[in-house]
Copies of this chain bind each other. A is one copy, B any other.
Amino acid sequence: MSDIQKVLDFIVEIEKLKDVHRKTRPVGLERYENSAEHSWHVCLAALMLKDSANQPVNIDRVIKMLLIHDLGEVDAGDTIIYASETPELKKKEQAGLARIFALLPEGQAEQYLSLWLEFEAGETADSKFAKAIDRVPPLLHNLHGDGHSWKENKVPKEKVFAVNRRIAEGSQSLWSLLEKKLNQAVEEGILK
């Protein structure tokens, strides 16, 4: 099979991410978001917020990380950020990623698996920033959408603050603004 044919098979396979449903609704839409359109959204969010990162980041690497960060969900499904991410689930995601990247021409898979592992570990400047950005759209969906996902999934405000505080590890200034918005949501009774 030619290398290009292998990539075409990969392109068709990853399309399944368009059918993985997340737990928030995009602003103004009744339906739930899927992980493919979410991936696009966080890439542009990262690009436009890059100057707010705590440490200088390589935005091209960050974007690649975000393009692939949810691919493991094709096999593992989406898990809301407020649920515990078990080692079993992460293993399933990693196995899914390995299966999908194995469709690529020889010698390609490793670099992307390694980029995903870096993202998951969240220890480098690039991955800290990428992980921070990944949390922004669901917060905006809730803030602009009457806290629908917090309510539907019974997430108390303490958990919302505790989980999202980690945004500060990627961008202190971004977290400061979002923290204000969350406090306002508490005052307005959207977040309880």
Contact = CB atoms under 8 A, between A and B. Distances in A.
Copies in the complex: 2
Given A4-B174, A7-B45, A48-B10, A28 B37 contact: no
Contacts of A140: 8, 11-12
A39 interface: yes
A159 to B, nearest CB: 22
Interface residues of A, number: 48
Nearest to A171: B4
Interface stretch (A62-70, A77-85, A150-158): A62-70
13 contacts: A4-B49, A4-B177, A10-B48, A11-B44, A12-B27, A15-B41, A16-B28, A18-B29, A19-B28, A36-B41, A48-B108, A60-B60, A63-B67
